Chains A and B, each alone.
Chain A
């Protein structure tokens, strides 16, 4: 029986090539999108889930005002957790330590992702070691653990264990362990771990993440509660010692984040993490995959039911010769599953071809091998389910025909006058138009953010990270030489730069009891010139005035407003740990030192000594030449490290990379959905023409023009697309508004984009529909009528 079904399914595929191609292509595209996104989602979900005992491991975070989550915690926390709570097995700190220069003999390599940890870290987090002992690898303060990837780059075939390498040109470390993730993924993707070089005994200073491993079955909420009470008490005592009162409601809640959730659930946390995941995007991607697949399935349903009108005789004959309805349903399901399997094969080929592009869009290195047998089973299942979903409705409708009614006619109208089909076509286009409208506004928002006036001028500024705390002085000494290079307008050093992670510090304002938490950048006096900041009141820091390099401050307008300083110039403030009070000497106009997803917050700029970035404003058409001169000079400023530079405007634009990637994903899926919907439209007009070929012939004899016949066939579909557009407008309006809530600065939801996108799609659809109707309109009536 099945053989018979298969046979007839194959022959039908071969005999109705256009429909088969339309059907399998549309399903293939839908399956490809589903497959790519499915691979991405499973990849993201697998992060850290393979790490042994991960269910018992948590990362501590603080919740501030129920809103902002912070991962930074005080240094002594790990020790306290270990000693004071019986449910804690071990606890340990970790902090990303940025980019490091690694040297071995004449090899120099910048390692982008490095971390400092407590010596016990790998007793808490059981990352697999390829060599060395996780318990003791960091017992020696000069011990170092590297990844297999880095080991291969530095040592090649050699055994790295015990070898000595130099870090940042100064300190020698010896390799005591090799971590091998073996192609699995973890949010802990550092290539180099060494021990913390410093420790701050304060409870009010937060400077590292704390990971904790607890006993099985211990109450996480109970521990969270105890830690919140205990640590907040310690913080309060400490601040009281500095004459600072803390309101209970200003204190954080201390929480534990499950290890396996860190990758996907940390997008709102201020933390440095390469390849951050975003659970929200995952949901949206999943939804898109389902929608695209649904559009493809609708296509099949439409084409199959439209085509069914030609199969009346076959169905009648089969029933008369003894077929039961269930047997006919099985037959049609066999057909749809067969088409789905053909589509599945095409989809796998397409997936292989598109994977490199997709990897770029989502910033991952996904491979198909990762999934192995389970992936194959999943794919086959997905395909079969798709086939079943696509085939069920047509199978039920077609198998329900009564033989007496359908056997006489060549074509007949299904009882519902194609209402169901119209609903499907409309939803296909509604989904397509919604995706494309959403896409348009994502791009509009990104464009808006990139073209917005930031309050400073990021163009023609290069930034150079400094590798030593002393480089600051070398630059100050050579600043005149730097400025002497033609094309260099100004140069500055600062602790942080706009667009980078900027820390917040607690300050006190003279005469007030409570503490405040503004963001802080330490700069030299030239910072305002390099960044082109506008001083609104008072002045910027001045080289001539000694106090300016110690404890005089410049603040931004938001700080003045939010901290309610009526008379900012001369107001006395200090950091909580400082002993001496300083003064505010100037107020600068607000500028966006964070990405535009976030509003401008209070900012303090002071003259402290921690400076980690140089920034140089250029004014030149001969960029290469100027850069070469700067690089030559740099060899004298930091002889140990080659100069690395970036352009500030590009760095700022890179802040929106996640949004751009997201926009690209929506764009591609929108276009593919459109393609599927157009394939369906093409097929439907073809059937419509076939069914009405006689009518068209008669109309032509009566004098109808070609254009009136094209209109006759196309109008029905164009009307559906207009309805789809009318549905898509409010839906996408809602989605866009929702999405824009993620941004402090939002582009307008301009009304004109709606009709523009709608019109473009209607025109494309009209062209698609016209292909078939034009053909029909140009047939000679004599040929079309004779066949009847």
Chain B
């Protein structure tokens, strides 16, 4: 599904180049649940953003579903992003002025989904995440965990193939975090490809594979052992 080859990302400051990502080469197949780990400033989020097409690499090749992303025109890239990807953020990033219902509905509006269909899709999410009663509340009326539930619901309501999550439990209590991670697991079991950035080994254990990044390089790339324990 995702094929990265020699991806580089750097900032030029005068004559000096500061590398964020160097020589990133890896493949991610459909159905994988990959966790990107590494210390702060290692380039985890940048890699996630490049894969999510929110950012682009300066060098290298990136194929998404066999399409050469870096050579595509903006419009096609936007289409790919829109059709296949869902995002979950550490800070939830719900729109303050919209209700729970409307927040979840937003991606469907941008995909020009018909009204009746929209209603049933949003209703399904509300029902699945047990937040039907909260559908008319605004984000500031919810707890962090509830907000993130809405965030996940919004990310997957349009049925993306790939779910990208940047520290999805970073702002949550552990109990709330577990609910989110169980949800990810469930989605993965249903066939969703998931790519998450996290510091937490516990969260990583929900996945199938770990990419460790340091100073912009992939240091290690290994599967998560069945049974939930991490090992080499």
Do A and B actually bind?
Answer: yes
B-contacting residues of A (Cβ < 8 Å)? 1, 4, 7-8, 11-12, 15, 313-314, 316-324, 327, 402-404, 407
A1/B109 in contact, CB under 8 A: yes
B75 → chain A closest CB, angstroms? 8
Residues of B within 8 A of A316 (CB): 93
Q: Decide if B29 is an interface residue (CB 8 Å cutoff).
A: no
Select which of B54, B106, B154 is within 8 A of A403 by beta carbon.
B54
Distance, CA A1 to CA B87, complexed state (A): 21
Nearest to B86 among chain A residues (CB) is A321
Q: A321-B154, A322-B107 are in contact. Are A404 and B55 (CB under 8 A)?
A: yes
Residues of A within 8 A of B97 (CB): 8, 11-12, 15, 314
B188 → chain A closest CB, angstroms? 21
Residues of A within 8 A of B95 (CB): 8, 314, 317-318
B183 → chain A closest CB, angstroms? 18
A323/B110 in contact, CB under 8 A: yes
B89/A407 in contact, CB under 8 A: yes
Contact with A along B182-207 (1 / 0, CB 8 A): 00000000000000000000000000
Nearest to A12 among chain B residues (CB) is B97
**Subset of 26 A-B contacts with CB under 8 Å:** A1-B112, A4-B102, A4-B105, A7-B98, A8-B98, A11-B97, A15-B96, A314-B95, A314-B96, A314-B97, A317-B93, A317-B95, A317-B106, A318-B95, A318-B110, A319-B54, A320-B52, A320-B93, A321-B87, A321-B110, A321-B154, A322-B81, A322-B107, A322-B110, A403-B54, A404-B55
Distance, CA A15 to CA B93, complexed state (A): 18
Distance, CA A318 to CA B97, complexed state (A): 13
B102/A322 in contact, CB under 8 A: no
A443 → chain B closest CB, angstroms? 49
Q: Decide if B218 is an interface residue (CB 8 Å cutoff).
A: no
Q: A320-B54, A404-B54 are in contact. Are A313 and B110 (CB under 8 A)?
A: no
Distance, CA A402 to CA B55, complexed state (A): 9
B80 → chain A closest CB, angstroms? 11
B87/A320 in contact, CB under 8 A: yes
- Please tell me the size bucket of the interface on B: 20 to 34
Distance, CA A12 to CA B96, complexed state (A): 9
B93/A313 in contact, CB under 8 A: yes
Q: Decide if B69 is an interface residue (CB 8 Å cutoff).
A: no
Residues of B within 8 A of A15 (CB): 96-97
Distance, CA A327 to CA B106, complexed state (A): 12
B110/A317 in contact, CB under 8 A: no
Distance, CA A321 to CA B82, complexed state (A): 7
Select which of A314, A322, A404 is within 8 A of B82 by beta carbon.
A322
Distance, CA A403 to CA B107, complexed state (A): 15
Q: Decide if B225 is an interface residue (CB 8 Å cutoff).
A: no
Residues of A within 8 A of B109 (CB): 1, 4
Q: Decide if B51 is an interface residue (CB 8 Å cutoff).
A: no
Nearest to A323 among chain B residues (CB) is B110
Distance, CA A264 to CA B217, complexed state (A): 79
Residues of A within 8 A of B49 (CB): 404
Residues of A within 8 A of B76 (CB): none
A786 → chain B closest CB, angstroms? 18
B54/A7 in contact, CB under 8 A: no
Nearest to A7 among chain B residues (CB) is B102
Nearest to A403 among chain B residues (CB) is B54
Residues of A within 8 A of B158 (CB): 322
Contact with A along B202-217 (1 / 0, CB 8 A): 0000000000000000
A321/B54 in contact, CB under 8 A: no
Residues of A within 8 A of B78 (CB): 322, 324
Nearest to A315 among chain B residues (CB) is B95
Select which of A11, A327, A403 is within 8 A of B110 by beta carbon.
A327
A348 → chain B closest CB, angstroms? 28
B16 → chain A closest CB, angstroms? 21
The B130-188 residues at the A interface (CB cut-off 8 A) are: 154, 158
Distance, CA A322 to CA B159, complexed state (A): 13
Residues of B within 8 A of A323 (CB): 110
Distance, CA A318 to CA B81, complexed state (A): 13
Residues of A within 8 A of B154 (CB): 321
Residues of A within 8 A of B89 (CB): 407
Nearest to A408 among chain B residues (CB) is B91
Q: A7-B102, A404-B49, A404-B54 are in contact. Are A324 and B110 (CB under 8 A)?
A: yes
B126 → chain A closest CB, angstroms? 17
B14 → chain A closest CB, angstroms? 19
A682 → chain B closest CB, angstroms? 24
8 closest Cβ pairs, A-B complex:
A322-B110, A322-B82, A11-B97, A321-B107, A317-B93, A320-B87, A8-B97, A404-B54
B55/A321 in contact, CB under 8 A: no
Distance, CA A323 to CA B95, complexed state (A): 13
A15 → chain B closest CB, angstroms? 7
Residues of B within 8 A of A319 (CB): 54
Nearest to B87 among chain A residues (CB) is A320
A322/B55 in contact, CB under 8 A: no
Q: Decide if B94 is an interface residue (CB 8 Å cutoff).
A: yes
Q: A8-B97, A313-B93, A407-B93 are in contact. Are A318 and B106 (CB under 8 A)?
A: yes
Q: A322-B110, A324-B78 are in contact. Are A317 and B102 (CB under 8 A)?
A: no
Residues of B within 8 A of A320 (CB): 52, 54, 87, 93
B117 → chain A closest CB, angstroms? 14
Nearest to B89 among chain A residues (CB) is A407
B59 → chain A closest CB, angstroms? 18
Distance, CA A402 to CA B74, complexed state (A): 13
A326 → chain B closest CB, angstroms? 11
Distance, CA A322 to CA B55, complexed state (A): 15
Distance, CA A580 to CA B199, complexed state (A): 120
B217 → chain A closest CB, angstroms? 21
Residues of B within 8 A of A402 (CB): 54
Contact with A along B6-27 (1 / 0, CB 8 A): 0000000000000000000000
A339 → chain B closest CB, angstroms? 15
Residue with the highest number of chain B CB atoms closer than 10 Å, among A1, A12, A317, A404 = A317
Residues of B within 8 A of A4 (CB): 102, 105-106, 109
Nearest to B112 among chain A residues (CB) is A1
B93/A322 in contact, CB under 8 A: no
The B69-121 residues at the A interface (CB cut-off 8 A) are: 78, 81-82, 87, 89, 93-98, 102, 105-107, 109-112
Distance, CA A15 to CA B110, complexed state (A): 24
Residues of A within 8 A of B94 (CB): 317
Known contacts A314-B96, A317-B106, A322-B78; can you find 12 more A-B pairs with CB under 8 A?
Answer: A4-B102, A11-B98, A15-B96, A15-B97, A313-B93, A317-B93, A320-B52, A320-B54, A321-B154, A322-B107, A403-B54, A407-B89
